[in-house]
Structure 1
Amino acid sequence: MEFCDECGSMMKTDDGVWVCDNCGYTKPRDDAKEAAMTTTQGQEETEIIDVSDAENRGLPTTEVHCSECGNDEAYWYMQQIRSADESETRFFVCTECEHRWREDDH
């Protein structure tokens, strides 16, 4: 994605140049710079987080009831599991039995 140097609007490509639809500014495309740009392709994969050593990783704890063992404390972390325009999901890991659940599971 490229932004206009004149007005800041998002630019589009047209026959080897970047063109601003808002103000008409144009500039040549730079293949090396474009190759380094981050794209959204392939970002559907979710990262797997190993929480087996949650205490050693410094995860925060909160007071929440574990349905498996009845403990009232769990580690928690946030993770983006849906598209970027949706809020993150909070996950819990019981400090006693290591049972795992999402905030919306209860």
Structure 2
Amino acid sequence: MEFCDECGSMMKAEDGLWVCGSCGYEKPKDPEAEYVLTEDQEASEVIETGDGEDSGLPTTDAQCPECGNDRAHWYMQQIRAADESETRFFVCTECEHKWREDDH
């Protein structure tokens, strides 16, 4: 099992790469390592925003860096040490582009 260096989410294997389903970060698989993959390990825990405002996630005013839309769904996740602040994740309500904001 591999975890994303960027957001801490579980990564899935795709064509010799580990790919994060949350932020899209990719890294090559170690060719020397032996992996046992099952369907349960390949399932990702992606937050689905769905269509419209029924995502269950709150919305806020946030400028999408991809399409310029001014509304986004948001959620917070602790991805660093417990004594550091949480990271805010945004999902555009128009194009569903995902980005993050932290206090660095």
Q: Max radius of gyration: which structure?
A: 1
Structure ranking higher on relative contact order (CA contacts 8 Å, 6+ apart): 2
TM-score by length of 1: 0.49
TM-score by length of 2: 0.50
